[in-house]
Amino acid sequence: MLPRSFVNLARIAVLAVLVLGATWGGSNMVSVLKEPEPTATVPVYALPTEVAIIDPTSTVAMIPTATTAVSDTGPTPIPTMEPTPAPTPLPSGRGTFTAPENTTGASIIVERGPAGQRAVALTFDAGEGAGYTAEILDLLKAEGIRASFGTTGEWARANPDLIRRIVDEGHLLFNHSESHRSWTGSSPGTEPLTEAERTAQVMDAQNAVIEIADYEMAPFWRPPYGDYDADGQVLLASLGYDYTLWWTCDSLGWSGYSAQEIAEWCGPTTDNGGPGAIILFHVSQEQDYLSLEQVIQEYRGEGYEFVTVDKMIGD
């Protein structure tokens, strides 16, 4: 057994070592506490092992799950995030596809696009008040869709701001006559228009849109009521309107169809719809507007591309 005096000396030595160690550690602790605080004011989350591609049309927000990480090298650095690129604006005016040359000497009636492609053209006739045009444009913008609008000259003059918005947001405009008079008189039971009257119906509407939006609607025309004859088709071609736009599906909202009935009537699996479908809506009809979102979702769900009529004809 060691002498008591020796044991006491050993205890004193150990205490001295502990005091020196605590003093050295304390000075380091002070230096650590003096380090500048992080400038970040947001919580740091562990990064996910996979990157999710989020559909821009989705309304569900994805929030990362917070996790606690233990690190020997200090706090997890905040990752540098690339700025989210601004969405590419829709091109103004006419689409990038040019309609093929018409050498027939008469305006060609277009009833459907290519049957081998999953493309659909949404078209809206405007001739009876502003109706739901602004709401339709809002929805198309939110969905990233360009459509085709037929306007009368009278409607354009009454709604110049909407005409300019249609053009500025990348939609296509086509000529729907000056005052929606039937060329043949078949549908309303009126007298056929003379050649001079027909020419005025085309050119007055064309000049109205040029004056308002500096936009040329030729070569696309849609006849009021869908009434046409052979002489009229030759005249249209001579005026620069080589393509007469018909449709595969008239929504029939004007006749009392509900939004649900319109969506079923013009859907992608019907004879009226499908590849190359040209769907006719009217901006003045509430049920047409109310059906639009369902029509879009059904076609999108079947893998369809939404195109303007110039692209459909160009393809």
Residue 172 domain-assigned? Answer: yes
Residue 270 domain-assigned? Answer: yes
Asked if pLDDT for residue 120 goes beyond 60, the answer is: yes
Instruction: Tell me which residue range forms the domain holding 279.
Output: 108-314
Residue 209 domain-assigned? Answer: yes
| 143-148 average pLDDT score | 96
d(CA 150, CA 173) in angstroms, rounded, equals 6
Residue 52 domain-assigned? Answer: no
Asked if pLDDT for residue 192 goes beyond 80, the answer is: yes
Asked if pLDDT for residue 75 goes beyond 60, the answer is: no
Asked if pLDDT for residue 247 goes beyond 60, the answer is: yes
Residue 122 domain-assigned? Answer: yes
- Tally of domains within the chain: 1
Residue 35 domain-assigned? Answer: no
Residue 58 domain-assigned? Answer: no
pLDDT tens sequence across 80-91: 334 434 443 433
Give pLDDT, residue 22: 43
Residue 97 domain-assigned? Answer: no
Provide the pLDDT confidence category of residue 31 given band limits of 50, 70 and 90. very low
Asked if pLDDT for residue 135 goes beyond 50, the answer is: yes
Evaluate if pTM is beyond 0.85: no
> In CATH, what number is assigned to the domain containing residue 166?
3.20.20.370
